[in-house]
Amino acid sequence: MADDLQRALAVGNELIAVHARFRGQLATLRAQAAGHPPQLDMDLKTHCLTFCEALHEHHQGEDHIGFPLLEQHFPTLRPVLEKLRDEHVVVARIYRDLTEALRRDDLRQLRADLDRLTAELESHFDYEEEQLVAALNQLPGPP
């Protein structure tokens, strides 16, 4: 219970931890794709789709729960949140491209899409952490 309360009171710090896990998973996925023989197998496809789905769910939670809460408590963050929402759309496009590369068993395109995703997410995560962590850590805790 104390751990849950501590996490609730430091949502920004939790965001950094979530991003660190995504960064690690993406690095593992890229290494797996880089060393993979030309034919894609179910392990790589499943790993890629699982990662992308988790990332999509994370962004959906931000768009529908986290960002509206921040807008309510910190209206001056609206331009930042709009930029982050726009970046979520870009990431979703890359996700669709990745899915298509997997469907076609196109390892070369998959690797390129993973590189694009990495670049986009690094920039996105850095900006989000820079702009939101302090505000997230100031949100009121549970009653």
C-alpha distances (whole Å) from 69 to each of 50, 85, 108 are 27, 14, 41
Cα angle 83-21-92, degrees, rounded to a multiple of 5: 40
pLDDT tens, N- to C-terminus, the chain (143 residues)? 344 445 445 788 899 999 999 999 999 999 999 988 877 888 889 999 999 999 999 999 999 999 999 999 999 999 999 999 999 999 999 999 999 999 999 999 999 999 999 999 999 999 999 999 999 988 876 54
**Rounded distance, CA 103 to CA 65, Å?**
32
Which residue, 121, 116, 113, is CA-closest to 97?
A: 113
- Residue 35's pLDDT is 87
**Cα torsion at 88, 92, 97, 100 (round to 10°)?**
170
Amino acid at 130: E
For residue 17, the model assigns a pLDDT of 94
The reported pLDDT for the residue numbered 21 is: 97
Task: Give all domains of the chain, ordered by start, each with its CATH number.
Answer: 2-138 (1.20.120)
Q: Give the DSSP letter of residue 66.
A: I
Q: Are 48 and 143 in contact (CB under 8 A)?
A: no
pTM score of the predicted model: 0.87
The pLDDT of residue 2: 47
